[in-house]
Amino acid sequence: MTYSSFTEFRNSILTYLKQEKEYYDKDIEASESLTDAQKIETGLLIDKADISSALPPFYILSVNENNTKLRAGDKVLLVSDVKKTEARIVENLEKTITVESSEELDSLKSYRIEVHEFALLDPLIQLTQKIEEGAIGSYWMEILANVKHPNSVGYKPIDVNSVKTIPPSLNEEQRQCIKQVLDRPTFCCLQGPPGTGKTDVLAVTANTYSSQGYNVLIISNTHQAVNNALNKIYSINRHLSVVKIGDKLKSDNLDNGITCAQTYNEYLTSKSKKKAKGRLKSHDIVGMTFQAAVINLGLRKNKFIPTIVLVDEAGQIPLSQGALLGAFGGNTIVLIGDDLQMPPIFHEKLIDNELSVSVFTYLCNLYPKFKHVLKVTYRMNEEITKMVSDKFYLPHGITLEASNFSAHRTLEIKSSCGDERIDKILNSSQSIHQIDVSNSSLWKDENTEEAEFISSLIKSAISNGLKSKQMAVITPYRKQVKKIRECVSKALSCKDDIPLIDTVERLQGQDVDLIIISMSITDKQYWEQQKQFVMNPNRLNVMLSRAKKKVIIVGRPTSVFLP
């Protein structure tokens, strides 16, 4: 992609966003015309929810069929008779949903829970239109358009030898990355493959800049990623002024020492009060989602001016959104991520558009000298590291290495459950296993045989000392998630022992000792239709690389490639 000017690049981004909005608006309109059965199947509706417990404004609703992907803080409509009540999700489980409602709900009535989709592209379009040549954010777009070149050293670089915030525990490549960031370049891209300590680098960088008297902005696409980054930062220096801006329901896993402001205005008001009392810290570390930054820092008058913007999980941010990062006011933008893990999401009709690429990948290709790669993993043992390295990174010229800390990790369980297949797998020192348990060729996105085998596997592992938090089950399909949860729930006497069972998106940023993968598909025709989705290298990379000690792949040998 080549552009002759800032205006040409800006207009191409604007055209892309408008086209994307048009496609999503048509999808939303089409979803409104679906039958109730179709809405239930696609997770847009729960047709019957009964209040089982009430402590206003909180209500627990029992449901029969729940295909939704709702998370804490999401808004829904509760419909009873002709009345519609807006509520927020507190917790979404398979059979119960906890909501918060400002209006009192009637425990004698049944409710329909309606999920409404939103494109949320209008703020991006408005900000893109706002960025004129010479305005804040235009220089960043000129860098992306390649009509201006980035600087590797900026104004008043920080001398790495003068700071005391870089711990000796960091390895040499991590220290070199931080040193480059302290030079205050226009931007840099840090690729952090699984378990290589990219969040540690982010945290040390934020601590160093804040300790030097500079404001730091932390942004990512999801609240979970922002929360994880802020927790890591605060854990290395509890004297820092760390603030999360966002819904408190989406900040429930934050360290208690981190200030949580519901809105940007709440943060500014709190800051003004501290200033009036003479207790204002001039350098804050503020975290929020990318969408919140667009609204609070891009479209409004920005009273928080960061020196550095740290973008976590940057490989998931599309170029059309990443083009707006300069509007947030940072002199240095650090993109931290891995474009070989979860990819950004584009509308399917734009998938072949040349702008359908992550801002991380785009910049790495355009300015390779500004890219740094971490290669030593502290998560996976040697066997899993080699598999992940050979299959996903070596084709891109990157060889991963297991650190001494993780290389010799093993998971051996003295299982004697009576199923020779399970005993053989759990008692083995081998780290990677693949087993086919399906006798039928009719299974597609729901495989009962795999679900029952996995439930027996989990039961044996737990009965022999492995805790539920030390394992996770991943599958590509929501139907298989439900089937496995159902089988595991029946197999275990204590519901607290049920491990994480979900699609790969929910596992991003986490790691456990044991990963169990259910591929589900055995139908050849369906396999041909779904192969591109199931075998997406980025998704497989995330599935496999969350494991520290053992990976068990349940599925036909033809459906998964291994070394």
- Please state the rounded mean pLDDT for residues 373-394: 97
* Beta carbons within 10 angstroms of residue 416's beta carbon: 13
* Beta carbons within 10 angstroms of residue 544's beta carbon: 23
Averaged confidence pLDDT in the chain: 91
> Which helix or strand (DSSP H or E) is residue 228 part of?
helix 223-236
In 33-137, alpha helices (H)? 36-41, 122-130
Q: Please give the Cα distance from 436 to 552 (Å, whole number).
A: 11
8 Å CB contact between 460 and 426: yes
pLDDT tens string 419-452:
999 999 999 999 999 999 988 767 778 899 999 9
pLDDT tens string 276-311:
444 445 589 999 999 999 999 999 887 899 999 999
Q: Enumerate the β-bridge partners of residue 218.
A: 287, 310
- Quick check: 561 pLDDT over 70? no
DSSP output for 181-217:
HHT--SEEEEE--TTS-HHHHHHHHHHHHHHTT--EE
**What is the crossing angle of helices 420-427 and 448-463, to 10°?**
50
pLDDT of residue 543: 93
pLDDT tens string 481-515:
989 999 999 999 776 688 999 988 877 678 999 99
- Quick check: 380 pLDDT over 90? yes
- Please state the rounded mean pLDDT for residues 213-231: 95
Q: Please give the Cα distance from 95 to 112 (Å, whole number).
A: 14
**Burial class of residue 364, CB neighbours in 10 A (0-12, 13-18, 19+):** buried
Task: Print the SS3 string covering 155-167.
Answer: CCCCCHHHCCCCC
CA angle 95, 98, 99 (to 5 degrees): 140
pLDDT tens string 319-345:
999 999 999 999 999 999 999 999 999
pLDDT of residue 273: 57
pLDDT tens string 151-167:
999 999 999 999 999 99
Q: Enumerate the β-bridge partners of residue 32.
A: none
Task: Give the phi and the psi of residue 479 in degrees, each rounded to 5.
Answer: -65, -40
* Beta carbons within 10 angstroms of residue 301's beta carbon: 5
8 Å CB contact between 73 and 100: no
pLDDT tens string 164-186:
999 999 999 999 999 999 999 99
Q: Side chain identity at 327, as an amino acid letter?
A: A
pLDDT tens string 467-483:
999 999 999 888 899 89
Tokens for 29? Answer: 């309109």
Task: Print the SS3 string covering 38-68.
Answer: HHHHCCCEEEEEEEEEEECCEEEEEECCCCC
Query: Quick one: pLDDT band at residue 215, thresholds 50, 70, 90?
Result: very high
DSSP state of 371: E
Sorted by sequence, the CB contacts under 8 Å of residue 158 that are 6+ apart come out as 182, 183, 184, 208, 209, 212
* Range picked from 17-26, 263-272, 507-516 for highest mean pLDDT: 17-26
Q: Is the previous residue joined to 123 through a cis bond, with omega within 30 degrees of 0?
A: no
pLDDT of residue 558: 54
- Please state the rounded mean pLDDT for residues 6-28: 96
- Quick check: 216 pLDDT over 90? yes
